[in-house]
Amino acid sequence: MTAAVHTPTSEPVRFWSRERKVGLAVTVAGVLAAFGFGALAGDQPASFTLADNTSGAAVSINGLLGAVLFGLLGAAAGAGLWLPGARRWFGALLAAGIVAVVGSFLCWQLSDSALNIMPLGQVAQGSMRFALPLIFGGLAGVLGERSGVINIAIEGQFISGAFAAAMVATLLASVWAGILAAAVGGLVIAALLAVLAIRYLVDQIVVGVVLIVFALGLTGFLFEQLMRQDPSRYNQPARVPTWEVGLLSDIPLLGPVLFRTNIFVYLALALVAAVHFGLFHTRWGLRTRAVGEHPTAADTVGVRVLGMRYRNVLVGGVLAGIGGATFTLEATTNFSKGMTAGLGFIALAAMIFGRWSPVGVLLAALFFGFCRALAIYLGTIGSPIPSQFLNMLPYLATIAAVAGLAGRVRAPAADGKPYVKG
């Protein structure tokens, strides 16, 4: 992408390594949080409960004390990144720093609002609910882009999946048929994307944008012509059932999020593990990555480049379509026009923010989901911060990530370039 900067094998150690840059940023954020949030914090206590309501045992801390303490913790974590050997603990220290700064922020918010208590269980469940479609969509993006096909049309696959799920689940009175139909709905858009991008060599970003308009228009049209005329016949799917996993569902905080939930959550987590294993530990994964990084080399050793790309884009379409089903079978129980509301783009952001890796997608999706759940909760307790600004956070974080503010994110080398043999 950028002018060919070849990293020589014996690169001199640069002073501003990634650890040090990020460490400085986290330290500054921590100090700012300690002073800024500390100064703003009220004298009320800030309480956190593990349950999904405000009753029950709570951990309380004085708002001012909490804000300063968490801020300093964050600064310490940032400083820790400057220690020799910090490279090994990069992820843990960064996570600790972020959590501490968020904690400082929450202490200020809670001590300064009408209700000084935050049920962490409720926020955790909200985060997972919002993250759910992003995980599916992000994985779809990873599959396509790791093999070299940009999939901007996740939004289109979401909406067609959501539509197909609602329609078929109502017609056949079965949510399972609905999920299957959603997969097919996503597959159709993915097939159009694959044929136009791989066979007809149309610019992949052009195809993606146009397919989004197409899918939104088509589902909107069919919604008006069919569903709105007779909702009970076409647009009243049931909700997917909740499955509990025995005793595990009684674990505080995590139990309800991970083990007392619906098939979509189980499926999403399983898929993250499966795609991660597949990409990095199987022959298919090696070939996929080869095709995405250097298709000519892959072709030379006998990998079918185009076949690989078709397969991955189509599988991605299936995943994104199932992600679309969460809109109509889990979050709500009816389809409405344009209901995906740009979440396909956040899924794209999650993929980029997660550095084109399945686990990264999961973490990014959870982070974005957390931002959204937090925005909603702070809105209900009358926080002075407009919820809009918290909702912007995922997008701004993604811009910061691609701009290389915290370590560069890099797309697969052949991402978006059609492969023509010869």
Chain contacts with another protein (rule: CB under 8 A): 1-2, 148, 150, 152, 196, 200-207, 209-214, 216-218, 220-226, 229, 337, 342, 345-346, 348-349, 352, 386, 388-389, 391-392, 395-396, 398-399, 402-404, 411-418
Least distance in angstroms from the C-beta of 292 to another protein: 10
Least distance in angstroms from the C-beta of 225 to another protein: 4
Least distance in angstroms from the C-beta of 237 to another protein: 20
Measuring CA to CA, which residue among 300, 160, 169, 292 is closest to residue 221? 160
Least distance in angstroms from the C-beta of 15 to another protein: 20
Task: Give the residue with the Cβ less far from another protein, 212 or 319.
Answer: 212
Least distance in angstroms from the C-beta of 285 to another protein: 20
Task: Give the residue with the Cβ less far from another protein, 30 or 324.
Answer: 324
Task: Give the residue with the Cβ less far from another protein, 118 or 375.
Answer: 375
Least distance in angstroms from the C-beta of 345 to another protein: 5
Task: Give the residue with the Cβ less far from another protein, 56 or 217.
Answer: 217
SS3 per residue for 226-238: HHCCCHHHHCCCC
In a 10 Å sphere around its CB, with 0-12 CB exposed, 13-18 middle and 19+ buried, how is residue 52 labelled? middle
Please spell the DSSP secondary structure of 343-357, one letter per residue.
Answer: HHHHHHHHHHHTTT-
In a 10 Å sphere around its CB, with 0-12 CB exposed, 13-18 middle and 19+ buried, how is residue 10 labelled? exposed
Least distance in angstroms from the C-beta of 166 to another protein: 16
Q: How far is CA 11 from CA 7, 14, 85, 291, in A?
A: 7, 8, 18, 28
Least distance in angstroms from the C-beta of 294 to another protein: 13
Task: Give the residue with the Cβ less far from another protein, 224 or 244.
Answer: 224
d(CA 298, CA 230): 52
Contact 406, 21 (CB under 8 A): yes
Least distance in angstroms from the C-beta of 229 to another protein: 7
Find all residues with CB under 8 Å of 392, minimum gap 6, and list them: none
Question: Which residue type is seen at 288?
Answer: T
Task: Give the residue with the Cβ less far from another protein, 329 or 348.
Answer: 348
Task: Give the residue with the Cβ less far from another protein, 346 or 362.
Answer: 346
Q: How far is CA 355 from CA 142, 225, 412, in A?
A: 9, 41, 10
Please spell the DSSP secondary structure of 203-230, one letter per residue.
Answer: -HHHHHHHHHHHHHHHHHHHIIIIITT-
| Burial call 401-420: b when 16+ CB within 10 Å, e when fewer | beeeeeeebebbebbbebbe
To the nearest 10°, the Cα dihedral for 229, 240, 153, 399? 120
Least distance in angstroms from the C-beta of 209 to another protein: 6
d(CA 121, CA 346): 24
Least distance in angstroms from the C-beta of 181 to another protein: 17
Task: Give the residue with the Cβ less far from another protein, 21 or 260.
Answer: 21
Question: Which residue type is seen at 104?
Answer: S
Task: Give the residue with the Cβ less far from another protein, 194 or 257.
Answer: 194
Please spell the DSSP secondary structure of 101-124, one letter per residue.
Answer: HHHHHHHHHHHTSS--EEEHHHHH
Task: Give the residue with the Cβ less far from another protein, 118 or 371.
Answer: 371
Task: Give the residue with the Cβ less far from another protein, 64 or 167.
Answer: 167
With residue 62 as reference, give the H or E element that holds it. strand 58-62
Strand residues in 322-373 grouped as ranges (E): none
| Residues written for the chain | 422
